[in-house]
């Protein structure tokens, strides 16, 4: 007895790939500005809830703090004794101006960041060409699953490796991180 209908699976995969192919393949979506940081051995990242412009970055060399509004590294801590991270609760102690904050992190050990902001911009993970991963930016409550809206969405990531992705808590920034780099996108509408 065959429990799986491979013809239906192939049809569905082709339908989904057709929707992905209708999106605009771009480096950055309209109204967003991208900056990239090279970081070797990246394992987790997390946005501050109290200062959503600040991104804690954890790598095999310790922790860093990126000011996403100015696209600059503002703090660095090479402490690798790892007593500042809890991989089960997915939290880390901040550094520098965030030294009194416990930050929720997302990365190799799990966790997640917000996938939508208050303006209805969303990020969607697709793997119709596995092992290649696509991240689709869906602006203003648009959905790639609606045939007439797929052309208004943006394919902004198309690669084999992904550690984590998501929005800051104020929704003005989102990131896509691999083990070797962080792509930071800032909303240009607010003068960023």
SS (H, E, C) 90-116: CEEECCHHHCCCEEECEECCECCCCCE
Is residue 3 scored above 70 in pLDDT? no
- Percent of the chain topping pLDDT 90: 83
Question: In the chain, what are the domain boundaries?
Answer: 6-190
> What pLDDT is recorded for position 13?
86
Q: CB under 8 Å to 140, separation ≥6 — which residues?
A: 119, 120, 121
Q: With bands split at pLDDT 50, 70 and 90, how would you rate the model's confidence at 107?
A: very high
The string of pLDDT tens digits covering residues 139-188 is 999 999 987 999 999 999 999 999 999 999 999 999 999 999 999 999 98
Give the tokens for residue 119.
């303006």
Is residue 66 scored above 80 in pLDDT? yes
Is residue 102 scored above 80 in pLDDT? yes
Question: b/e map of 101-127 (b: 16 or more CB within 10 Å)?
Answer: bebbbbbeeebebbebbeeebbbbebe
d(CA 190, CA 171): 11
> What pLDDT is recorded for position 175?
98
Average pLDDT over residues 74-100: 94
d(CA 100, CA 181): 26
> What pLDDT is recorded for position 12?
86
> What pLDDT is recorded for position 7?
80
Is 164 strand, coil or helix? Answer: strand
Is residue 119 scored above 90 in pLDDT? yes
Average pLDDT over residues 127-135: 94
> What pLDDT is recorded for position 4?
65
Task: Say if CB 30 and CB 15 are below 8 A apart.
Answer: no
Is residue 63 scored above 60 in pLDDT? yes
Task: Say if CB 172 and CB 122 are below 8 A apart.
Answer: no
> What pLDDT is recorded for position 47?
98
> What pLDDT is recorded for position 168?
98
């Amino acid at each position: 007895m065959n429990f799986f209908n491979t013809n239906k699976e192939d049809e569905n995969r082709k339908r989904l790939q057709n929707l992905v192919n209708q999106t605009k393949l771009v480096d950055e979506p309209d109204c967003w500005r991208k900056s990239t940081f090279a970081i070797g051995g990246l394992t987790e990242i997390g946005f501050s809830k109290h200062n959503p412009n600040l991104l804690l970055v954890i790598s095999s060399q310790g922790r860093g703090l990126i000011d996403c509004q100015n696209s600059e590294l503002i703090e660095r801590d090479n402490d690798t004794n790892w007593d500042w991270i809890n991989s089960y609760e997915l939290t880390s102690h901040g550094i520098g101006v965030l030294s009194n904050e416990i930050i929720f992190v997302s990365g190799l050990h799990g966790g997640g960041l917000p996938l939508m902001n208050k303006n209805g911009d969303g990020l969607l993970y697709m793997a119709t060409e596995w092992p290649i991963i696509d991240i689709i930016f869906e602006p203003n409550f648009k959905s790639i699953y609606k045939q007439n809206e797929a052309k208004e969405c943006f394919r902004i990531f198309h690669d084999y490796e992904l550690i984590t992705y998501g929005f800051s808590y104020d929704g003005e920034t989102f990131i896509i991180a691999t083990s070797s780099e962080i792509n930071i996108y800032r909303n240009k509408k607010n003068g960023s």
